[in-house]
Amino acid sequence: MLAAQDTKRPETVEELLGRELMSRLDRLDVLTRKVFSGKLPGERRSKKRGQSVEFDDYRQYVPGDDLRHIDWNVLARFDKFFLKLFREEEDLGVQIVLDCSASMDAGAPSKLIAAARAATALGYVGLVNQNRVSISRFGRPGDTGLRSLSAIRGRGNFKRLASFILEGVGPLPPDVRTKGEAPDFNDMMRTLALTRRGKGVLILISDGLFREGFLPGLNFLAGDSYDAYFVQILSPDELDPTLQKDRVSGDLRFTDSETGAAAEVTVSADLIKRYRARLEAFLGDLEAVCRAR
Protein backbone atom coordinates (compact mmCIF):
# COMPACT_ATOMS: atom_id res chain seq x y z
CA MET A 1 0.00 0.00 0.00
CA LEU A 2 1.02 3.62 -0.39
CA ALA A 3 1.40 5.98 2.52
CA ALA A 4 -1.47 8.40 3.00
CA GLN A 5 -0.82 11.85 1.59
CA ASP A 6 -1.80 14.89 3.65
CA THR A 7 -4.70 13.13 5.31
CA LYS A 8 -6.47 15.32 7.85
CA ARG A 9 -6.96 13.35 11.02
CA PRO A 10 -10.22 13.73 12.95
CA GLU A 11 -9.90 15.72 16.15
CA THR A 12 -13.50 15.84 17.41
CA VAL A 13 -16.47 13.51 17.79
CA GLU A 14 -18.28 15.38 15.01
CA GLU A 15 -15.38 14.74 12.62
CA LEU A 16 -15.51 11.03 13.42
CA LEU A 17 -19.24 10.55 12.87
CA GLY A 18 -21.27 13.72 12.43
CA ARG A 19 -24.69 14.40 13.92
CA GLU A 20 -26.65 13.17 10.89
CA LEU A 21 -24.96 9.76 10.95
CA MET A 22 -25.37 9.51 14.72
CA SER A 23 -29.12 10.09 14.40
CA ARG A 24 -29.30 7.28 11.83
CA LEU A 25 -27.28 4.97 14.08
CA ASP A 26 -29.83 5.51 16.86
CA ARG A 27 -32.16 3.16 14.99
CA LEU A 28 -29.66 0.27 14.85
CA ASP A 29 -28.65 -2.45 17.26
CA VAL A 30 -25.90 -5.08 17.56
CA LEU A 31 -27.04 -8.62 16.77
CA THR A 32 -25.44 -11.91 17.71
CA ARG A 33 -25.81 -15.42 16.35
CA LYS A 34 -25.22 -16.94 19.79
CA VAL A 35 -27.20 -17.09 23.02
CA PHE A 36 -25.60 -15.60 26.13
CA SER A 37 -26.75 -14.83 29.65
CA GLY A 38 -25.67 -11.34 30.69
CA LYS A 39 -24.34 -10.10 34.01
CA LEU A 40 -26.78 -7.19 34.30
CA PRO A 41 -30.32 -6.54 33.05
CA GLY A 42 -30.05 -5.03 29.58
CA GLU A 43 -32.46 -4.02 26.87
CA ARG A 44 -31.64 -6.94 24.59
CA ARG A 45 -34.17 -9.68 23.88
CA SER A 46 -32.36 -13.00 23.96
CA LYS A 47 -33.10 -16.17 22.04
CA LYS A 48 -32.80 -17.79 25.44
CA ARG A 49 -36.10 -18.42 27.20
CA GLY A 50 -36.29 -17.27 30.77
CA GLN A 51 -38.51 -15.59 33.33
CA SER A 52 -39.24 -12.07 32.11
CA VAL A 53 -42.77 -10.70 31.64
CA GLU A 54 -42.83 -11.06 27.85
CA PHE A 55 -44.71 -14.21 26.81
CA ASP A 56 -43.09 -16.21 24.00
CA ASP A 57 -44.53 -19.72 23.58
CA TYR A 58 -45.86 -22.90 25.20
CA ARG A 59 -44.37 -26.34 25.71
CA GLN A 60 -45.61 -29.49 27.39
CA TYR A 61 -44.89 -29.98 31.07
CA VAL A 62 -42.19 -32.49 32.06
CA PRO A 63 -41.49 -33.66 35.62
CA GLY A 64 -39.27 -31.20 37.43
CA ASP A 65 -40.62 -28.06 35.71
CA ASP A 66 -41.64 -25.09 37.85
CA LEU A 67 -45.36 -25.51 38.62
CA ARG A 68 -45.77 -21.74 38.82
CA HIS A 69 -45.50 -21.52 35.02
CA ILE A 70 -48.29 -23.99 34.24
CA ASP A 71 -51.10 -22.38 32.25
CA TRP A 72 -54.18 -23.45 34.20
CA ASN A 73 -56.55 -22.14 31.53
CA VAL A 74 -55.01 -24.50 28.96
CA LEU A 75 -55.25 -27.36 31.48
CA ALA A 76 -58.95 -26.67 31.99
CA ARG A 77 -59.66 -26.62 28.25
CA PHE A 78 -57.51 -29.52 27.03
CA ASP A 79 -56.83 -31.51 30.20
CA LYS A 80 -53.09 -31.30 29.49
CA PHE A 81 -50.27 -29.57 31.32
CA PHE A 82 -48.49 -26.82 29.37
CA LEU A 83 -45.90 -24.34 30.55
CA LYS A 84 -45.74 -20.70 29.55
CA LEU A 85 -42.35 -19.68 28.14
CA PHE A 86 -41.03 -16.13 28.33
CA ARG A 87 -38.32 -14.10 26.65
CA GLU A 88 -35.40 -13.38 28.91
CA GLU A 89 -33.72 -9.98 28.84
CA GLU A 90 -30.01 -10.25 28.18
CA ASP A 91 -27.05 -7.96 28.74
CA LEU A 92 -24.71 -8.15 25.73
CA GLY A 93 -21.03 -7.24 25.82
CA VAL A 94 -19.63 -5.53 22.72
CA GLN A 95 -15.84 -5.65 22.44
CA ILE A 96 -14.13 -3.72 19.64
CA VAL A 97 -10.49 -4.37 18.67
CA LEU A 98 -8.90 -1.65 16.53
CA ASP A 99 -5.69 -2.10 14.53
CA CYS A 100 -3.69 1.14 14.71
CA SER A 101 -0.47 -0.22 13.20
CA ALA A 102 1.54 1.70 10.63
CA SER A 103 0.19 -0.35 7.72
CA MET A 104 -3.27 1.02 8.53
CA ASP A 105 -2.07 4.61 8.15
CA ALA A 106 -2.01 4.30 4.38
CA GLY A 107 -4.26 4.59 1.39
CA ALA A 108 -6.54 7.28 0.04
CA PRO A 109 -8.73 7.63 1.98
CA SER A 110 -6.72 6.52 5.00
CA LYS A 111 -7.54 3.02 6.22
CA LEU A 112 -6.84 4.09 9.79
CA ILE A 113 -9.43 6.86 9.71
CA ALA A 114 -11.99 4.59 8.05
CA ALA A 115 -11.37 1.97 10.75
CA ALA A 116 -11.67 4.59 13.49
CA ARG A 117 -15.02 5.74 12.14
CA ALA A 118 -16.28 2.16 11.94
CA ALA A 119 -15.18 1.51 15.53
CA THR A 120 -16.84 4.71 16.72
CA ALA A 121 -20.10 3.87 14.95
CA LEU A 122 -20.20 0.32 16.33
CA GLY A 123 -19.39 1.52 19.83
CA TYR A 124 -22.07 4.19 19.64
CA VAL A 125 -24.72 1.66 18.60
CA GLY A 126 -23.75 -0.57 21.52
CA LEU A 127 -23.85 2.27 24.04
CA VAL A 128 -27.23 3.69 23.03
CA ASN A 129 -28.71 0.19 23.39
CA GLN A 130 -27.37 -0.09 26.95
CA ASN A 131 -24.83 -2.80 26.15
CA ARG A 132 -21.46 -3.10 27.86
CA VAL A 133 -18.94 -1.68 25.38
CA SER A 134 -15.18 -2.06 25.66
CA ILE A 135 -12.47 -1.27 23.13
CA SER A 136 -8.82 -2.19 22.70
CA ARG A 137 -6.27 -0.93 20.22
CA PHE A 138 -2.93 -2.36 19.19
CA GLY A 139 0.01 -1.54 16.96
CA ARG A 140 0.10 2.25 17.28
CA PRO A 141 3.73 3.41 17.19
CA GLY A 142 4.72 4.41 20.70
CA ASP A 143 2.19 2.13 22.40
CA THR A 144 3.46 -0.86 24.35
CA GLY A 145 1.18 -3.85 24.07
CA LEU A 146 -2.59 -3.52 24.11
CA ARG A 147 -4.28 -0.31 25.18
CA SER A 148 -7.81 -0.80 26.43
CA LEU A 149 -10.82 1.12 27.66
CA SER A 150 -12.70 -1.02 30.15
CA ALA A 151 -16.41 -1.69 29.77
CA ILE A 152 -18.72 1.33 29.74
CA ARG A 153 -22.45 1.64 29.26
CA GLY A 154 -24.96 4.23 28.10
CA ARG A 155 -25.03 7.21 25.74
CA GLY A 156 -23.45 9.41 28.39
CA ASN A 157 -20.14 7.53 28.05
CA PHE A 158 -19.86 8.01 24.30
CA LYS A 159 -17.33 10.84 24.63
CA ARG A 160 -15.02 8.54 26.60
CA LEU A 161 -15.16 6.01 23.79
CA ALA A 162 -14.58 8.64 21.11
CA SER A 163 -11.66 10.19 23.03
CA PHE A 164 -9.94 6.80 23.28
CA ILE A 165 -10.32 6.27 19.53
CA LEU A 166 -9.16 9.80 18.67
CA GLU A 167 -6.07 9.23 20.82
CA GLY A 168 -5.30 6.12 18.78
CA VAL A 169 -5.49 7.83 15.38
CA GLY A 170 -4.12 11.26 16.27
CA PRO A 171 -0.74 12.67 15.20
CA LEU A 172 2.27 10.90 16.67
CA PRO A 173 4.54 12.81 19.07
CA PRO A 174 7.77 13.91 17.34
CA ASP A 175 9.94 11.66 19.52
CA VAL A 176 8.06 8.45 18.62
CA ARG A 177 9.73 6.06 16.19
CA THR A 178 7.41 5.19 13.33
CA LYS A 179 9.46 2.23 12.13
CA GLY A 180 11.04 -0.66 13.93
CA GLU A 181 9.85 -3.98 15.29
CA ALA A 182 6.23 -4.42 14.20
CA PRO A 183 3.79 -5.67 16.85
CA ASP A 184 3.01 -9.38 16.78
CA PHE A 185 -0.71 -9.69 16.05
CA ASN A 186 -0.96 -13.23 17.38
CA ASP A 187 0.67 -12.30 20.70
CA MET A 188 -1.67 -9.31 21.04
CA MET A 189 -4.76 -11.43 20.44
CA ARG A 190 -3.55 -14.07 22.87
CA THR A 191 -3.22 -11.39 25.54
CA LEU A 192 -6.67 -10.08 24.71
CA ALA A 193 -8.25 -13.54 24.91
CA LEU A 194 -6.65 -14.19 28.30
CA THR A 195 -7.83 -10.91 29.81
CA ARG A 196 -11.34 -10.48 28.39
CA ARG A 197 -14.31 -11.10 30.64
CA GLY A 198 -17.93 -12.02 30.10
CA LYS A 199 -19.63 -12.93 26.85
CA GLY A 200 -20.89 -11.11 23.79
CA VAL A 201 -19.87 -9.85 20.38
CA LEU A 202 -16.24 -9.16 19.43
CA ILE A 203 -15.41 -7.09 16.34
CA LEU A 204 -11.84 -6.90 14.99
CA ILE A 205 -11.22 -4.00 12.59
CA SER A 206 -7.97 -4.33 10.63
CA ASP A 207 -6.43 -4.68 7.19
CA GLY A 208 -5.29 -8.20 8.10
CA LEU A 209 -1.74 -7.50 6.90
CA PHE A 210 0.39 -9.19 9.54
CA ARG A 211 3.92 -10.34 8.78
CA GLU A 212 3.57 -13.31 11.13
CA GLY A 213 0.18 -14.38 9.74
CA PHE A 214 -3.28 -14.24 11.26
CA LEU A 215 -4.39 -17.83 11.97
CA PRO A 216 -3.26 -18.20 15.63
CA GLY A 217 -4.61 -14.77 16.53
CA LEU A 218 -8.02 -15.42 15.01
CA ASN A 219 -8.16 -18.76 16.81
CA PHE A 220 -7.60 -16.97 20.12
CA LEU A 221 -10.50 -14.60 19.40
CA ALA A 222 -12.98 -17.25 18.27
CA GLY A 223 -13.77 -18.72 21.68
CA ASP A 224 -17.16 -20.05 22.75
CA SER A 225 -17.85 -16.99 24.90
CA TYR A 226 -17.76 -14.51 21.99
CA ASP A 227 -19.44 -14.18 18.63
CA ALA A 228 -16.43 -12.89 16.66
CA TYR A 229 -16.41 -10.80 13.47
CA PHE A 230 -13.58 -9.47 11.29
CA VAL A 231 -14.14 -6.15 9.51
CA GLN A 232 -11.34 -5.86 6.94
CA ILE A 233 -10.33 -2.39 5.79
CA LEU A 234 -8.40 -2.09 2.50
CA SER A 235 -7.81 1.00 0.37
CA PRO A 236 -8.86 1.23 -3.28
CA ASP A 237 -5.26 1.40 -4.49
CA GLU A 238 -4.40 -1.79 -2.57
CA LEU A 239 -7.12 -3.59 -4.50
CA ASP A 240 -6.10 -1.96 -7.79
CA PRO A 241 -2.58 -0.45 -7.88
CA THR A 242 -3.23 1.03 -11.34
CA LEU A 243 -5.36 3.69 -9.64
CA GLN A 244 -2.04 5.23 -8.58
CA LYS A 245 -0.24 5.08 -11.94
CA ASP A 246 1.47 8.38 -11.28
CA ARG A 247 3.06 6.93 -8.12
CA VAL A 248 3.36 3.23 -8.99
CA SER A 249 5.31 2.80 -12.21
CA GLY A 250 8.87 2.18 -13.34
CA ASP A 251 11.80 1.65 -10.99
CA LEU A 252 10.82 2.33 -7.38
CA ARG A 253 12.16 1.85 -3.89
CA PHE A 254 9.52 0.61 -1.45
CA THR A 255 9.96 0.94 2.31
CA ASP A 256 7.98 -1.17 4.78
CA SER A 257 5.92 1.23 6.88
CA GLU A 258 6.28 -0.94 9.99
CA THR A 259 9.79 -2.39 9.91
CA GLY A 260 11.63 0.11 7.71
CA ALA A 261 12.93 -2.68 5.45
CA ALA A 262 13.42 -1.50 1.85
CA ALA A 263 13.33 -3.18 -1.55
CA GLU A 264 13.97 -1.89 -5.07
CA VAL A 265 11.29 -3.00 -7.53
CA THR A 266 10.52 -2.47 -11.20
CA VAL A 267 6.76 -2.10 -11.50
CA SER A 268 5.49 -3.76 -14.67
CA ALA A 269 2.21 -5.17 -15.97
CA ASP A 270 3.43 -8.66 -15.10
CA LEU A 271 4.29 -7.63 -11.54
CA ILE A 272 0.85 -6.08 -11.04
CA LYS A 273 -0.77 -9.25 -12.40
CA ARG A 274 1.15 -11.39 -9.91
CA TYR A 275 0.30 -8.96 -7.12
CA ARG A 276 -3.42 -9.26 -7.88
CA ALA A 277 -3.21 -13.05 -7.91
CA ARG A 278 -1.49 -13.13 -4.51
CA LEU A 279 -3.97 -10.60 -3.10
CA GLU A 280 -6.94 -12.69 -4.26
CA ALA A 281 -5.40 -15.79 -2.70
CA PHE A 282 -4.77 -13.94 0.55
CA LEU A 283 -8.33 -12.58 0.72
CA GLY A 284 -9.72 -16.02 -0.08
CA ASP A 285 -7.68 -17.65 2.68
CA LEU A 286 -8.74 -15.01 5.20
CA GLU A 287 -12.41 -15.36 4.30
CA ALA A 288 -12.23 -19.16 4.56
CA VAL A 289 -10.60 -18.97 7.99
CA CYS A 290 -13.25 -16.54 9.25
CA ARG A 291 -16.17 -18.56 7.89
CA ALA A 292 -14.85 -21.70 9.56
CA ARG A 293 -15.19 -20.09 13.00
- pLDDT tens string 1-13: 566 555 788 999 9
Average pLDDT, integer, range 194-212? 91
pTM: 0.80
DSSP H or E segment with residue 284: helix 269-291
252 against 49, higher pLDDT: 252
DSSP string, 19-77: HHHHHHHTT-----SS----SS--SEEEEEEESSSEEEEEEE--TTS-GGGB-HHHHHH
Q: How far apart are CA 196 and CA 272, in angstroms?
A: 41
Q: How far apart are CA 18 and CA 21, in angstroms?
A: 6
Q: How many whole angstroms separate alpha carbon 286 and alpha carbon 271?
A: 22
pLDDT tens, position by position, 39-81: 444 444 454 444 445 566 777 877 667 787 788 888 888 888 8
- The per-residue pLDDT for 140 is 92
Segment 161-165 shows an average pLDDT of 98
82 vs 268: CA distance, rounded Å: 73
Helices (H), 139-268: 158-169, 185-195, 215-221, 236-239
Conformational region of residue 270, where left means phi above 0, alpha means psi within -120 to 50, and beta covers everything else = alpha
User: Domain spans of the chain?
Assistant: 13-31+91-234, 53-89
* Strand, helix or coil for residue 232: strand
- Report pLDDT for 40: 42
Q: Which CATH class is domain 13-31+91-234?
A: alpha beta
Name the range with the highest mean pLDDT among 68-72, 154-158, 170-174.
154-158
Mean pLDDT for the stretch of residues 160-183: 83
Return phi, psi of residue 17, to 5°. -120, -55
Convert the pLDDT of each residue in 101-112 to its tens digit. 999 998 888 999
What is the residue-averaged pLDDT of the chain?
A: 85
Tens digit of each residue's pLDDT (9 = 90 or more) over 120-155? 999 999 999 989 999 999 999 888 889 999 999 999
> What confidence category does residue 14 fall into, taking pLDDT thresholds of 50, 70 and 90?
very high
